[in-house]
A and B are shown apart, each in its own frame.
Chain A
Amino acid sequence: MKALVFDTGPLINLALNNLLWVVEPLKKRFKGKFYITPAVRNELVEKPLATKRYKLEALQILKLIEDGVFDIYESEELKEKSLSLLKLSNSILKADENYIKNVQFAEIEAIVATKMLNADAVVIDEFVTRALIENPLGVKDRMQKKLHKAMKIDDNNLEEFKKQVSGIIVIRSFELITIAYEKGLFKEYYLDLKNPKETLLDGLFWGIKLNGCSVTEQEIAEIKKLEGF
């Protein structure tokens, strides 16, 4: 069975852009399952429901869960494996002989679920978690440069971490929205403008970037070029 696992960020992003409606038609075209984990659900639903500001967005996400658009992947094994990988992930980089906690439980739980479900990809908008999977040395260099501190890598832990996350592919809401555009899901927004499609793509890409998806201006330009603009 095809599957995608979502971290917290992409759904916050879609909610902040009023784009949650696109998830269901995307899932239909995906012909598989969309999952979130219990910790991600907590960030997306329980926490904002306890506040005033994002209550409405939380309700919209809860509706997607109740309608079965998202399944919750939950098991004792997931929790145990996530705690173990969290410990490992936060024991890779060191400064002043102190391990740096780079990532948090919900982010790691999404990664572990991806592995356990043998999912096709994990959707993560957040930059540091993605970079830790794709290029952990890049995170080290970045921290060293920004903190003006010598950073050390625990080689054994890094190797074990790489082994545990090997084969995991990370995509972002940016890629999902591009596909939704290509599939014509935004057709009704081809409005009476000079460059309707380009304007729409600009609106979509900048909307998700400005709400926290880790996509650069250069990447937006690259994809616009690929789409013929």
Chain B
Amino acid sequence: MEPTIKKEIIDILKQTIVVIEEDRLYKLRELSSQIIKTASVYQDKESISVAVTIYSLSKIYKGKDDVDNFVLPHLTDAVKALEKNNLIRYEAEMQHIIKDISEKDEKTKFYVQEVLQRAEIKKGSNMFEYGISMGQVAETLNISMWDLMDYIGKTRIVDEFNYKTNVKSKIEFTRGLFK
């Protein structure tokens, strides 16, 4: 793992632990947005996975009472493992967070799957917003281009690009092709 990515992930996970401990769960989305910027530059699976996991937690946990007891220990152990460069242990701890939540009961399992899927598309749309093409985003996150287009179309991202197209000349050119 690139040292810059490692440093960023450790920092984000430590902040995640603090916001959960201090019951400032609304901050989780912000942390997820922060790490997806790193993911847009490096397109590494680790920062993408952290962004998706934290965003999912922000959707699953509405208040402190919702937070499962195993979440903080997993996060703490993930940080420790990463600090010791133990990537296998780090990945296992991160994977266990969502796995343990979804295994609570059958109903939760489907809900968590849905949240995860939506989180991936949401984070994909962030990457597109930052300048990564839809195809590249879909490939990097292993999500469907169809889902991504459907989602991005409903956002204001393209309107906010502030990119001037000479639409009149494009229409005139296209008309010429169909004469």
Q: Are A and B a genuine interacting pair, yes or no? A: yes
Chain A interface residues (CB < 8 Å from chain B): 2, 4, 8-9, 12-13, 16, 26, 29-30, 43, 47-48, 51, 53-54, 57, 93, 95-96, 98, 100-107, 120-121, 125-129, 131-132, 134-135, 138-139, 142-143, 146-149, 169, 171-172, 175-176, 178-179, 182-183, 209-219, 222-223, 226
Task: Tell me whether B133 and A8 are in contact (CB under 8 A).
Answer: no
A12: chain B residues at CB < 8 Å are 145-146, 149
How far is B128's CA from A103's CA once the two chains are assembled, in angstroms? 10
Task: Tell me whether A223 and B171 are in contact (CB under 8 A).
Answer: yes
How far is B128's CA from A226's CA once the two chains are assembled, in angstroms? 30
Contact of A143 among B131, B154, B158, B173 (CB under 8 A): B131
Task: Tell me whether A104 and B174 are in contact (CB under 8 A).
Answer: no
Q: B125-167 vs A: 1/0 string, CB under 8 Å?
A: 0001111111110111000111111101110001101010101
A13: chain B residues at CB < 8 Å are 149
Task: Tell me whether A176 and B174 are in contact (CB under 8 A).
Answer: yes
User: Which chain A residue has the least Cβ–Cβ distance from B129?
Assistant: A146
A95: chain B residues at CB < 8 Å are 41
Task: Tell me whether B178 and A222 are in contact (CB under 8 A).
Answer: no
Task: Tell me whether B130 and A43 are in contact (CB under 8 A).
Answer: no
How far is B139's CA from A102's CA once the two chains are assembled, in angstroms? 11
Q: Does B26 contact A (CB under 8 A)?
A: no
Task: Tell me whether A179 and B153 are in contact (CB under 8 A).
Answer: no
Task: Tell me whether B144 and A210 are in contact (CB under 8 A).
Answer: no
Q: Does B40 contact A (CB under 8 A)?
A: yes
User: Which chain A residue has the least Cβ–Cβ distance from B4?
Assistant: A96
How far is B177's CA from A100's CA once the two chains are assembled, in angstroms? 35
Task: Tell me whether B150 and A16 are in contact (CB under 8 A).
Answer: yes
B140: chain A residues at CB < 8 Å are 101
Nearest CB on B from A80, distance (A): 19
Nearest CB on B from A4, distance (A): 7
Task: Tell me whether A4 and B177 are in contact (CB under 8 A).
Answer: yes
Contact of A57 among B129, B138, B146, B163 (CB under 8 A): B146
Task: Tell me whether A222 and B168 are in contact (CB under 8 A).
Answer: yes
Q: A53-B144, A131-B163 are in contact. Are A213 and B135 (CB under 8 A)?
A: no
